[in-house]
Amino acid sequence: MEHRKPYFFVGIGGSGMMPLAMILAGQGARVAGSDRSLDQARLPAKFDFLARSGIALFPQDGSGIGSSEQIVVASAAIEETVPDARRAAELGNARMTRAELNARLFNAAPLSIGVAGTSGKSTVTGMIGWILHALGRDPTVMNGAVMKNFATPDAPFASALVGAGRVYVSEVDESDGSIALYRPGVAVLNNVSLDHLPMDKLIELFGAFIARAGKAVINLDNGEGALLAATMPRERLRTFAIGAPADLTAINLREQRYGIAFELAREGAASIPVTLQVPGRHNVSNALAAIGAAAAAGIAVEEAAQAIQGFQGLKRRFELVGEAGGIAVIDDFGHNPDKIAATLDTLHAFDGRLLLLFQPHGYGPLKVMRAELVAMFAEKLGGEDVLVLPDPVYQGGTTSREVTSADIVADVAATGRNALHIPDRAAAAAHLVANARAGDRIVVMGARDDTLSHLAAEMLAQLAD
């Protein structure tokens, strides 16, 4: 795409905004932005990186919007009372949401691969991006998480990859309904489960997404996904599953502490041994989705299966921060029942007590997911495991606080599990550090708050003292 006008990103540090800004800058666009985290001096390394990349940064006080020619891109968290939004209204600037801009780039690409689903989007997007990159396709990748394969000391926030090839790979978000904007050449549907929206709405959105696709890659292990697969013409469909009939089937899984191995089976062909550098059955499913997408894009399954073994994972996706005194600290993005359950299952494959600090990513999601979260913790927590919830992340704006962390803890504790509400996050972390013993795994979980990674590093440092 040509970019004749400059862009101004309000909330440029957001996990969905930053990679999009990086892609535009990499394509030669003039990009500037503001962020309240910048004003609060939070995460300075992130904004230093953006500045080194040629992106002009401004306070979120309206001063960065000086011309009606600028296209103002605002994240979903930005309210109209924010000075930048008021200034854009005064000047009459053209406005776009992050999703509208990303969809425009995505739909303009000769080959677009969209990754949808309640869980695993970022990992599958990273896996596809790595496969295409490793095999010389030079893709552009829009991700919501830092891809370790592309991160360097000079570019530590590699949540985007700017390529000169034909392919644009992006995760697509259902939570705000913006998935309806995307017209994928290849659509991946990893799973359908409760998160931000009611199930009937999710099925409607995901069903329309795969119906628009040239080809769809769908997980048959997921009940709703299997039902949606049945609506697709066979010639436009590729399926995957673990230990069940599908176009791509994983068999003979062998768990490893920080990885997993399996064999990739296909009808009429020899099985292919695959060893992943990321652990858990859920990552086997993610790998099948990525290999299926690569195959739908014209890459031989054998080549894709070989390439994916070089995938190093994403930051904050079951990331081992380090070990001290026989205690491991893991940083994880888990924030909905399926994601958290997958992490707990992976950890429980090996001995050791789990000490979990789960910071909810908002009061709204707690209200939507209350029953499912409680049922998941009741089922997945071990008898000696400890769950601590601080108050949800809150970064400004108006919100309803009908369901709180205290409510979730009370419900979980009523099932007989060890759960505590410690409102202050630092105090919650200190409690776990003080009670950890050799053999434990401390897991910091949550979304929409990059400072959780700093918290995990601080906890490791405290353990090492």
Average pLDDT over residues 377-394: 94
Average pLDDT over residues 129-157: 94
pLDDT recorded at residue 175: 76
- Mean pLDDT value across the chain: 93
Tell which wins on pLDDT, 402 or 210.
210
pLDDT recorded at residue 1: 63
pLDDT recorded at residue 77: 67
pLDDT recorded at residue 100: 95
Tell which wins on pLDDT, 425 or 258.
425
**What pTM was estimated for this model as a whole?**
0.86
| pLDDT-based confidence at residue 139 (cuts at 50, 70, 90) | very high
The three-state DSSP-derived secondary structure of the chain is: CCCCCCEEEECCCCCCHHHHHHHHHHCCCCEEEECHHHHCCCCHHHHHHHHHCCCEEECCCCCCCCCCCCEEEECCCCCCCCHHHHHHHHHCCCEEEHHHHHHHHHHHCCEEEEEECCCCHHHHHHHHHHHHHHCCCCCEEECCCCEHHHCCCCCCCCCEECCCCCEEEEECCCCCCHHHHCCCCEEEECCCCCCCCCHHHHHHHHHHHHHCCCEEEEECCCHHHHHHHCCCCHHHEEEEEECCCCCEEEEEEEEECCEEEEEEEECCEEEEEEEECCCCHHHHHHHHHHHHHHHHCCCCHHHHHHHHCCCCCECCCCEEEEEECCEEEEEECCCCHHHHHHHHHHHHCCCCCEEEEEECCCHHHHHHHHHHHHHHHHHHCCCCCEEEECCCCCCCCCCCCCCCHHHHHHHHHCCCCEEEECCCHHHHHHHHHHHCCCCCEEEEEECCCCHHHHHHHHHHHHHHC
| pLDDT-based confidence at residue 206 (cuts at 50, 70, 90) | very high
| pLDDT-based confidence at residue 366 (cuts at 50, 70, 90) | confident
| pLDDT-based confidence at residue 432 (cuts at 50, 70, 90) | very high
pLDDT recorded at residue 226: 94
**Residue 408 pLDDT exceeds 80:** yes
33-66 pLDDT, tens digit per residue, is 999 999 999 889 999 999 999 999 999 999 999 9
pLDDT recorded at residue 363: 86
pLDDT recorded at residue 465: 85
**Residue 89 pLDDT exceeds 80:** yes
pLDDT recorded at residue 398: 60
| pLDDT-based confidence at residue 196 (cuts at 50, 70, 90) | low
269-306 pLDDT, tens digit per residue, is 999 999 999 999 999 999 999 999 999 999 999 999 99
Average pLDDT over residues 321-337: 93
437-456 pLDDT, tens digit per residue, is 999 999 999 987 888 999 99
pLDDT recorded at residue 43: 85
334-356 pLDDT, tens digit per residue, is 888 888 998 999 999 899 999 99
| pLDDT-based confidence at residue 257 (cuts at 50, 70, 90) | confident
